[in-house]
Amino acid sequence: MSYNVCMNTNEKSYARRFGRRSVEVTCDVICSDWEQPFSHSMKNLSPNGVWLRTSFPREVGETVVLSFRPPHWDASREINVFAQVTRVTETRSSLSGRMTGGMGLAFMDLTSTEKRLIQAGLGHLN
């Protein structure tokens, strides 16, 4: 499955080379102005990036560190990767009035082996 979708960035367009898969994975995000990692809910994943649900999106272009265990991954090992914020959405809930939304992150330094293992793990999802 192949997609060509432009993501909101200041400098360039990104073409998706792998299909995304819906997941429910908890991950930690670390950024320069948070004192400790902050847990987020990963909603979809590809070997190139993720979409996180968050009430605290970062700015497009910002670099964060993401720590997570993909589906069908060795439970004793986490992936720790630099990622760049490529897209942000925010909406106000009509019921609660709270801000909700999400952010897309593009992986910056995954190894080719890690990408291949993520793709293989995603292939096992129904």
Q: What's the CATH number where 57 sits?
A: 2.40.10.220
What domain range includes position 80? Answer: 21-123
**Does 14 reside within a domain?**
no
Which pLDDT band holds residue 117 (cuts at 50, 70, 90)? confident
**Does 10 reside within a domain?**
no
Q: Say yes or no to pLDDT of 44 above 60.
A: yes
Pairwise pLDDT comparison (58 vs 92), residue with the higher score: 58
Which pLDDT band holds residue 99 (cuts at 50, 70, 90)? low
Report the domain count for the chain: 1
Task: List, as own/partner pairs, every contact residues 54-59 make where C-beta atoms lie below 8 angstroms and the sequence separation is at least 24, other chains included.
Answer: 54/29, 54/101, 54/102, 54/103, 55/98, 55/99, 55/100, 55/101, 57/85, 57/88, 57/89, 57/90, 57/101, 57/102, 57/103, 58/29, 58/31, 58/85, 58/88, 58/103, 59/85, 59/88
Name the pTM for this structure: 0.75
Condensed to tens digits (0 to 9), the pLDDT of residues 3-21 reads: 222 333 333 444 444 466 6
